[in-house]
Amino acid sequence: MDTPLRTVRTNIVQSIRAFRVQDLQEAAQALGHHFLYANLANAQSKQDVLDLIGQQFILSTQVSKNFDALYDSMTDPVHKSGPQPGFIAVLEHIPANAKFDKEAREQLLDIFRDTADYWGDRKIPFRCFYSFL
């Protein structure tokens, strides 16, 4: 049997490129990993992005406060809740507009890079795939 995502490093944030969301969801299932998906097509601002990620990832309401709260909700409380098998996260259609500019997009992706590092330090796979609108 083909190992899903065998050519993708385990703790990485990368463009979705050749992958389809359905394929990533199936890979997560095959690997026994959590699948986190957020469609951000309707987001216009940082607040919209945070709200949608919090709702669609089913995270605590604290997420909507700022990027630090997003990081916090995806790391320590999840780690303390018990052993984790791994994660595949998809951020589809990250907005690219005046209210969510290049700097905001980079800050968002940095949060996911830091999250990947956090889980990598604990030997837990965390892969994040993203696309821009």
Q: Hey, where are the domains in the chain?
A: 34-132
Classify the C-alpha dihedral 111-115-116-120 as positive or negative.
Answer: positive
Residue 86's pLDDT is: 96
Question: Could you write out the DSSP letters of every residue in 31-95?
Answer: HT-EEEEEE-TT--SHHHHHHHHHHHTT--GGGGG-HHHHHHHHSHHHHHTS----EEEEEEEE-
**Per-residue model confidence as pLDDT tens for the chain (133 residues):** 466 788 889 999 999 998 999 999 999 999 999 999 999 999 999 999 999 999 999 887 677 789 999 999 999 888 889 899 999 999 999 999 999 999 999 999 999 999 999 999 999 999 999 999 8
Q: pTM score, two decimals? A: 0.94
Please give the CATH number for the structural domain made up of 34-132.
3.30.370.10
Cα(96)–Cα(71) distance, integer angstroms: 21
